[in-house]
Amino acid sequence: MTRPPETAGTERRARGRPRAWADTTNQNQIKSLDRAMEVLKRLSEMGSATLSDLAAALGQSPASVYRVLFTLEVRDIVDFEAVSQTWHIGAGAFLIGSRFLRRTSLVERVRPALRTLMERTGETASLGIERNGLMLFVSQVETHANMRAFFPPGTTSPMHASGIGKALLAAMDEGRRDAIIARHGLAGFTANTLTTRDTLIADLAAARARGYAVDAEERDDGMRCIAAPIFDMHGEAVAGLSISGPSSRMPNSAISGLASSVMEAAQAVTAGIGGRRHD
């Protein structure tokens, strides 16, 4: 019997990537698709935008940007609002993004812990992970208080100015931590942001020793965050839990008690996924 041409004389290859998968040169990029992803990313950052504003932000012609937007609109990846003449991220993008969250059961497992943590502390509870050297919010349960923190899933933040980000940095090995700092820098957002390597490393060492990190108005004036890491079975920090709220409800005198609740929640999730605390 003759073998099919694609398998003759060779073992069947996995089809996840072609033979030249390690080739990262520009020849493997589809330039039009790359431009479309650039448009989509910028629109998501802006929240909503007119065609002219989006084109200006991208440094591209309105005609080129419109062709991309029209193509994405056909797939429900973006929406157009005729009254305001603005473009927005569409439901199709949400559906695709939500499938990223379903790659792991972590989000589903953490949801009850987030709700309990919010009810216990009275502050917004969030789950975040590291993604490309940034802190990415993936789930949240908002407090019922009028003044509250809000980070929609998909929001990113520099790790050095984030409670969860610092909790994860504190649990990382030195090489990985330094690579993230070198890549993204230590931009200042408020007078309290840790913008030098020495001050950040000292803060991370303290966070690692006590088991939780604090964002003391380092990202936004008047807002604080307390976070603790979640560990997997290998003892690696794969996510972080936090509570965030106004400094008036989270004064220095309340930090220790609130941190105990955050650490208990993170430890419960760690145990629930079969993880172990980093030594």
In a domain, 61, yes or no: yes
Q: Is there a single domain that holds both residue 60 and residue 152?
A: no
Query: Does residue 1 fall inside a structural domain?
Result: no
Residue 72: inside a domain, yes or no?
A: yes
pLDDT at 77 over 60: yes
Q: Does the residue 19 lie in any domain?
A: no
Which CATH number belongs to the domain containing residue 173 in this structure? 3.30.450.40
Residues 223 and 110 in one domain: yes
Residues 237 and 124 in one domain: yes
Do 134 and 239 lie in one domain? The reply is yes
Mean pLDDT of 6-20: 51
Among 111-125, 140-154, 215-229, 251-265, which is the least confidently predicted range?
A: 140-154
Q: Establish if 279 belongs to a structural domain.
A: no
Q: Collapsing DSSP states into helix, strand and coil, what is residue 216?
A: strand
pLDDT in tens, 102-158: 555 677 788 899 999 999 999 999 999 999 999 999 999 999 888 878 777 888 999
Residue 139 and residue 198 in one domain: yes
Same domain, 148 and 226: yes
Cβ neighbours around 61 below 10 Å, total: 10
Task: Please check whether residue 36 lies inside any domain of the structure.
Answer: yes
- Per-residue model confidence as pLDDT tens digits over 49-60: 999 999 999 999
Percent of the chain scoring above 70 in pLDDT:
86
Assigned domain for 147 exists: yes
- At which of 77, 95, 113 does a domain end? 95
Q: From residue 25, give the alpha-carbon distance in Å to each of 22, 37, 205, 222.
A: 9, 18, 39, 46
The total number of structural domains in the chain stands at: 2
Fill in the amino acid letter for 262: V
Dihedral sign (CA 115, 121, 124, 126) = negative
pLDDT of residue 60: 92
- Residue 170 in contact with residue 162, Cβ under 8 Å? no
278 in a domain, yes or no?
Answer: no
Rounded Cα–Cα distance for residues 257 and 213 (Å): 13
What range defines the domain where residue 113 resides? 104-272
Tell me if 72 sits within 8 A of 37, measured CB to CB: no
Strand order in the sheet with 48-49: 48-49, 86-89, 78-81
The structure's pTM equals 0.68
